[in-house]
Amino acid sequence: MALDIYAQFNLHARALGLANQRLELLADNVANTDTPNYKARDIDFSAAMQSAGGLGGDLPMAATRPGHIQAGTAGANTTTPLYRVPEQPSLDGNTVDSQKENAAIAETAVRYQATLTFLSSRIRGMRDAFTGGR
């Protein structure tokens, strides 16, 4: 069985990239908690992972004519941020909900650490395979 290092790390690398992008957006939201008219943004993590080919079902639509639009961006490492729907109106037009942001940051940090744990155990497994467990 050939060892495909790229395939071994690819998915986790994408997950790290996405978590990274999400953390950046959330940090932006927290930074702009008091900026008038700032609209909070976030990405849909599971949808992004799906479009990155992480959760199976990776069948691209056939584009048989020049006018056809390619659906999805399989393989993209970043995804387009969306604006969050505010739950409480605020007088200055700001839609940041700091509780939500903090919860999302905690969640993303845990996801990131989980991916790191997966990656380290994968690296350890490969190293064991190379050295014969010595």
Residues that bind other proteins (CB under 8 A): 16, 20-21, 23-24, 26-28, 30-36, 38, 78, 80-81, 98, 101-102, 105-106, 109, 112-113, 116, 119-120, 123
CB of residue 56 vs other proteins: minimum separation in angstroms?
A: 26
Distances (CA, A) of 70 to 3, 8, 66, 118: 32, 27, 10, 32
Nearer to other proteins among residue 72 and residue 107 (C-beta): 107
Classify 75 as helix, strand or coil.
coil
DSSP 6: H
DSSP letters for 7-21: HHHHHHHHHHHHHHH
Nearer to other proteins among residue 63 and residue 109 (C-beta): 109
CB of residue 48 vs other proteins: minimum separation in angstroms?
A: 13
Classify 62 as helix, strand or coil.
coil
CB of residue 75 vs other proteins: minimum separation in angstroms?
A: 15
